[in-house]
């Protein structure tokens, strides 16, 4: 059996190899006068150079020369240059092992270092254990061990010794974490944990699998199913607070391992590991089921009122003829009354003659019914669905303990009253019930008959509960997604320290008053300049019509020659099968190696199976059908790779490997510097079981589906993707991609369309110090919000809206900074804050954030009107994203391009696989686009970069995406690349 390793090859090189970059050479290998004096005491030039090299290496990285090791030329040249010596002398020094040992012994004393003792190794092991308590990453553990040895002035032992210490430390840390979770659990409870892996005849599956496979499609029965699982979990008696006994990093690792391990494999674990893994799964599943149940309740109540509104609309449609007849009769009556008035006739007689009094009396009952129906309260109409509500209301209310920030919250009192009704099985409400949470209209309806109506009261209370759960004003114990927003943010003491030390790293200063004064002055100047330019027709591409600024749509600036060049180069791309393309991109970037094993951290042993799994996600084929369409790859192999190697973090790392290679490619610089990006959503229909989970947005038709929301750099490099509901605002997720990626991209400006914009988004971009540049639809209808009075800008009077509430901003300035600092430190996802803001319109902090966003949006709109360069830059960025959508649609073609996965995790894998496959295609195309361009230029063609930047790497006609996938084909490429195609010369794809 192969010896388990702690470090990958690149990690070993990073820790122990001799650096060659100029900055590191200067930092670590600059000799002091005392060093040079010691060197000069050695006889002969080669001994002096060798002594100096040994001295440098013992300082950093902290080791001696290895047998037969020759340092890199850059290091030798740098050290030799300080001694005015010939670096070639080192080969003579390397021949005498005895001299090297003598120098090492002397330098230990000179540098105050020593060889590692048992005590030093113990200290290093403790450092490794401490590091492993928070992570399983071998490189982090090894760095802690190396750091401990360096602190103790110890010469680093052999790499195998350090790896052994790290593996031992990690093993001890794992055992300690397992013991911490199991401590205090009696033998009976431990046996109960083991039983979760056994098939329960009552349900025909293991209880652990049953718990993991909770329903996610909104429905009354499904919500009851979730509450049943929650009740079963609580019966196990595992306290969720056990999670606090171990570090968050170690906890997340245990959860990841539990997620990946099927029940049959978990049985092979040691008893301690198996039971600790189950405990972690129980706590994690409990949190997820709680979140899922609350979200399902929110959706079901939301759908209730959607159904009510649809019923009202349908009723209006059903009486269209009657409504039309009534309106016609009403018009005839008005005409008759007007005639009577003009001729001084008796009004009633005229109406009776021209209209007919009997006709008015005939239509009266129908009109009364229509008026009553049109004015009916949604609450009254919702009562028709009370029978369906009762199916889940009792189970949901009794499953949770609800909390509120308000003391003596009347809503919680009402919830408690309903909980008691369901617990006791009573149908009627008592005469006195809590009503402080209800509005006047609701109270009037509920008590219309004197006694409270149970159905109206229950639905009204559940509606208020839904709204306040959604905005986190009320929460449930055990939830992570529905808890007070303050618990998601950076702790206040930490924020106070960072602010005091001026270490927040935000885009605004800590002094809010000074910042507002400066921005107010700048806005005033810019608005007056804009008004003057508009008045005298000085704005490029913008005109003033009836006091309103109108932006002229931009004409295309793509040269006609660009299309011809794009077609010519596309014809030159080599023909390639998609498996070969993925393998070649892996050989260039090593992206498949980023799919490390969930426990050992090892790279995939079967790269072909890993690539097949990625392609199965990216093309929407799925692992089983991919195995059937592949040569030499089984479903078991793909399944194993997906279970133990494919995770959100490894997909993110693989995406970074491809995108980083693409970013560094010289040709990518033609398209941009990688500092701007665009984000946009792409809709995919849902079918089969996924349709029951999917939401319907009529903008995309009447069918349910999912949106993949992705971010694309100006170099065509994808950096993030996320599946979201089509009914959700894209603005909520605009910022997530900027913080949830591992690429080297540093995005400074983001482009979106109108769907990605809101005042809250503008505010957060301002706070974190990045530019937000959306293409706003109907921008002329959006108002400027100013510090000065509206009459300060008479030319722009039609565009001036409400003034900025600076007092509100200043009142909450520190909390605004804390929100932004929490995002910057990744303590909370931006979407969490934006969801809370959109649902917490009554929150003063959310209002303050909106006011700040109005400032930033006003400044942006002024620039939009003033700068055609900004408008063109935004359009170019969005055009790239829209063009890339076509490639995604072409790749994601199996199952008619429809989403068939029920769970969010499965949909996330589909999205990540699609992004990765498309990124591989883009990078492969870029490599051959560069080679084709170089060939044409060598033939004497003048192809300026200004023209070349309009040639995109988004073609796919030369790539065979279908058919039988062969993963073992060998392509003969003498120089490492395929031959380009030329007119009249057709090469077969490998």
Query: Does residue 214 share a domain with residue 174?
Result: no
Integer Cα distance of 206 and 481 in angstroms: 28
Q: What is the pLDDT of residues 708-729, one digit of tens each?
A: 999 999 999 999 999 888 878 8
Mean pLDDT lowest among 349-358, 628-637, 913-922: 349-358
Integer Cα distance of 499 and 850 in angstroms: 23
- Kindly list the distances between the CA atom of residue 435 and the CA atoms of 298, 302, 417, 421, 443, in Å, as whole numbers in the listed order: 21, 22, 11, 16, 7
- Say how many domains are in the chain: 4
Q: What is the pLDDT of residues 91-121, one digit of tens each?
A: 888 677 788 889 999 999 999 999 999 999 9
Where among 866, 889, 905 does a domain terminate? 866
Report yes or no on 577 lying in a domain. Answer: no
Query: Does residue 105 share a domain with residue 17?
Result: yes
Query: Does residue 415 share a domain with residue 273?
Result: no
The DSSP-derived string for 541-573 is TEEEETTEEEEPPPPP---HHHHHHHHHHHHHS
Specify which residues 542 forms β-bridges with: 551
Residue 372 confidence class, pLDDT cut points 50, 70, 90: low
Quote the pLDDT of residue 43: 85
Query: Does residue 151 share a domain with residue 223?
Result: no
Tokens of 133: 């308590």
Report yes or no on 934 lying in a domain. Answer: no
Is residue 769 within 8 A of residue 856, CB to CB? The reply is no
Query: Does residue 107 share a domain with residue 22?
Result: yes
Residue 841 confidence class, pLDDT cut points 50, 70, 90: low
Query: Does residue 241 share a domain with residue 167?
Result: no
| Cis omega (within 30 of 0) for bond into 311 | no
Quote the pLDDT of residue 986: 42
- The 3-state DSSP composition of the chain as helix, strand, coil percent (nearest 5) reads 60, 5, 30
pTM of the model: 0.85
Name the strand (E) or helix (H) holding 684.
strand 676-685
Look up residue 963 and give its DSSP letter: S
Report yes or no on 468 lying in a domain. Answer: yes
pLDDT, mean over the chain: 89
Where among 250, 282, 302 does a domain terminate? 302
Tokens of 885: 């959508």
Quote the pLDDT of residue 94: 62
Report yes or no on 227 lying in a domain. Answer: yes
Distance of CA 603 to the CA centre of its chain: 25
Look up residue 833 and give its DSSP letter: H
Query: Does residue 520 share a domain with residue 460?
Result: no
Q: How many CB atoms lie within 10 A of CB 307?
A: 15
Report yes or no on 388 lying in a domain. Answer: no
Secondary structure (H, E, C), 295-330? HHHHHHHHHHHHHHHHHHHHHHHHCHHHHHHHHHHH
Report yes or no on 927 lying in a domain. Answer: no
Integer Cα distance of 585 and 917 in angstroms: 10
Q: Which of 749, 713, 731 is nearest to 507 (CA)?
A: 749
Mean pLDDT lowest among 253-267, 349-363, 680-694: 680-694
User: Measured in Å, how far apart are the chain's first and last C-alpha atoms?
Assistant: 37
Query: Does residue 265 share a domain with residue 220?
Result: yes
Supply the Cα-derived Rg of the chain in whole angstroms.
35
Q: What is the pLDDT of residues 135-150, one digit of tens each?
A: 989 999 999 999 999 9
Quote the pLDDT of residue 302: 87
Query: Does residue 855 share a domain with residue 760?
Result: yes
Strands (DSSP E) found in 716-866: 718-724, 749-753, 771-775
Greatest mean pLDDT among 61-70, 308-317, 470-479, 656-665 lies in: 656-665
Query: With left for phi above 0 and alpha for psi between -120 and 50, is residue 505 left, alpha or beta?
Result: left
Q: Which of 277, 251, 260, 257 is nearest to 196 (CA)?
A: 277
- Kindly list the distances between the CA atom of residue 261 and the CA atoms of 197, 257, 643, 966, in Å, as whole numbers in the listed order: 11, 6, 7, 29
Quote the pLDDT of residue 929: 97
Quote the pLDDT of residue 698: 47
Report yes or no on 48 lying in a domain. Answer: yes
Q: Count CA atoms within 13 Å of residue 472 on its CB side.
A: 22
Angle at 335 between CA 329 and CA 341, to 5 degrees: 140
Query: Does residue 409 share a domain with residue 452?
Result: yes
Where among 302, 326, 354 does a domain terminate? 302
**Host domain of residue 29:** 9-179
Tokens of 610: 């890993």
Mean pLDDT (whole number) for 238-266: 86
Quote the pLDDT of residue 374: 59
Query: Does residue 150 share a domain with residue 37?
Result: yes
Integer Cα distance of 656 and 650 in angstroms: 10
Report yes or no on 24 lying in a domain. Answer: yes
The answer on pLDDT for 979 being more than 80 is: yes
Query: Does residue 497 share a domain with residue 442?
Result: no
Quote the pLDDT of residue 263: 64
729, burial (CB in 10 Å: exposed 0-12, middle 13-18, buried 19+): middle
Q: Count CA atoms within 13 Å of residue 478 on its CB side.
A: 24
963, burial (CB in 10 Å: exposed 0-12, middle 13-18, buried 19+): exposed
């Amino acid at each position: 059996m192969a010896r388990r390793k702690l470090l990958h090859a690149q990690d070993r090189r990073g820790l122990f190899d001799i650096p060659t970059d100029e900055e590191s050479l200067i930092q670590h290998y600059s000799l002091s006068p005392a060093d040079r004096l010691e060197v000069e005491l050695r006889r002969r030039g080669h001994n002096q150079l060798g002594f100096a090299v040994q001295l440098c290496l013992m300082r950093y990285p902290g080791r001696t020369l290895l047998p037969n090791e020759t340092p890199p030329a850059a290091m030798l040249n740098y050290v030799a240059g300080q001694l005015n010596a010939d670096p070639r002398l080192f080969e003579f020094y390397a021949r005498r092992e005895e001299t090297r040992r003598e120098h090492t012994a002397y330098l230990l004393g000179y540098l105050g270092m020593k060889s590692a003792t048992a005590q030093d190794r113990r200290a290093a092991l403790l450092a490794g254990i401490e590091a492993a308590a928070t992570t399983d990453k071998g490189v982090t553990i090894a760095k802690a061990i190396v750091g401990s040895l360096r602190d103790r002035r110890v010469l680093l032992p052999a790499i195998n010794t350090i790896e052994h210490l790290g593996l031992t430390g990690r093993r001890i840390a794992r055992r300690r974490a397992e013991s911490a979770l199991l401590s205090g659990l009696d033998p009976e409870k431990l046996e109960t944990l083991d039983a979760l892996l056994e098939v329960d005849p009552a349900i025909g599956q293991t209880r652990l699998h049953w718990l993991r496979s909770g329903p996610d499609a909104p429905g009354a029965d499904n919500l009851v199913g979730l509450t049943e699982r929650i009740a079963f979990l609580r019966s196990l008696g595992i306290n969720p607070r056990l999670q606090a006994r171990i570090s968050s990093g170690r906890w997340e690792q245990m959860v990841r391992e539990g997620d990946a391990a099927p029940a049959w494999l978990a049985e092979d674990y040691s008893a301690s590991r198996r039971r600790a893994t189950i405990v972690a799964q129980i706590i994690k599943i409990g949190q997820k089921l709680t979140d899922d149940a609350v979200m399902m309740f929110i959706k079901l109540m939301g759908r209730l009122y959607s159904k009510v509104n649809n019923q009202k609309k349908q009723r209006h449609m059903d009486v269209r003829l009657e409504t039309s007849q009534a309106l016609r009769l009403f018009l005839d009556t008005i005409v008759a009354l007007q005639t009577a008035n003009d001729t001084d006739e008796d009004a009633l007689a005229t109406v009776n003659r021209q209209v007919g009094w009997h006709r008015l009396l005939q239509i009266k009952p129908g009109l009364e019914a229509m008026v009553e129906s049109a004015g009916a309260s949604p609450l009254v109409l919702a009562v028709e669905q009370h029978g369906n509500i009762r199916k889940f209301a009792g189970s949901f209310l009794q499953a949770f303990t609800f909390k509120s920030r308000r003391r003596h919250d009347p809503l919680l009192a009402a919830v408690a009253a309903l909980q008691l009704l369901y617990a006791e099985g009573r149908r009627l409400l008592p005469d006195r019930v809590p009503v402080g949470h209800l509005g006047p209209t609701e109270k009037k309806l509920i008590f219309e008959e004197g006694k409270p109506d149970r159905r109206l009261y229950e639905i009204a209370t559940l509606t208020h509960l839904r709204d306040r759960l959604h905005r986190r004003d009320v929460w449930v114990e055990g939830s992570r997604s529905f808890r007070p927003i303050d618990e998601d943010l950076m702790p206040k003491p930490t924020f106070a320290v960072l602010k005091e030390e001026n270490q927040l790293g935000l885009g605004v200063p800590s002094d809010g008053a000074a910042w507002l004064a400066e921005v107010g002055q700048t806005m005033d100047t810019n608005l007056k300049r804009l008004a003057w330019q508009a008045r005298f027709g000085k704005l490029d591409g913008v005109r003033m019509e009836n006091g309103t600024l109108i932006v002229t749509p931009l004409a295309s600036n793509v040269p006609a020659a660009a299309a011809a060049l794009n077609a010519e180069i596309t014809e030159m791309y080599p023909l390639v099968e998609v498996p070969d393309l993925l393998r070649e991109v892996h050989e260039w970037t090593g992206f498949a190696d980023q799919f490390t094993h969930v426990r050992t951290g090892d790279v995939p042993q079967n790269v072909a199976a890993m690539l097949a799994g990625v392609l199965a996600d990216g093309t929407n084929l799925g692992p089983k059908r991919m195995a059937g369409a592949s040569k030499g790859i089984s479903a078991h192999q793909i399944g194993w790779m997906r279970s133990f190697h494919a995770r959100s973090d490894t997909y993110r790392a693989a995406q970074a490997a491809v995108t980083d290679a693409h970013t560094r490619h010289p040709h990518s610089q033609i398209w941009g510097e990688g500092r701007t990006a665009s984000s946009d959503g792409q809709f995919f229909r849902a079918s089969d079981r996924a349709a029951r989970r999917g939401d319907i947005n009529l903008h995309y038709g009447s069918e349910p589906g999912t949106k993949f929301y992705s971010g694309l750099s100006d170099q065509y490099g994808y950096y993030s993707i996320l599946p979201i509901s089509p009914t959700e605002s894209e603005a909520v997720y605009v910022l997530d991609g900027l913080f949830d990626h591992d690429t080297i991209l540093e995005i400074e400006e983001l482009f979106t369309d109108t769907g990605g914009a809101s005042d809250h988004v503008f505010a957060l971009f301002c706070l974190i110090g990045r530019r937000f540049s959306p293409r706003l639809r109907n921008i002329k209808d959006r108002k400027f919000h100013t510090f000065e009075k509206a009459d300060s800008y008479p030319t722009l009077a039609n565009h001036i809206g409400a003034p900025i509430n600076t007092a509100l901003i200043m009142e909450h300035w520190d909390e605004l900074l804390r929100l932004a600092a929490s995002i910057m430190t990744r303590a909370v996802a931006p979407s969490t804050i934006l969801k809370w803001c959109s649902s917490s319109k009554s929150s003063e902090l959310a209002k303050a954030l909106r006011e700040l966003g109005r400032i930033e949006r006003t400044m942006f709109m002024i620039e939009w009107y003033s700068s055609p360069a900004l408008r063109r830059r935004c359009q170019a960025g969005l055009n790239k994203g829209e063009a890339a959508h076509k490639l995604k649609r072409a790749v994601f073609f199996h199952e008619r391009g429809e989403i068939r996965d029920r769970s969010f995790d499965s949909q996330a894998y589909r999205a990540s696989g699609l992004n990765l496959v498309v990124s591989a295609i883009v990078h492969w195309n870029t490599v051959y686009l560069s080679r084709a361009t170089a060939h044409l230029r060598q033939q004497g063609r003048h192809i300026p970069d200004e023209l070349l930047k309009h040639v995109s790497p988004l073609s796919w006609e030369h790539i065979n995406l279908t058919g039988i996938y062969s993963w073992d084909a060998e392509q003969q490429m003498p120089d490492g690349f395929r031959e380009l195609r030329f007119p009249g010369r057709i090469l077969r794809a490998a």
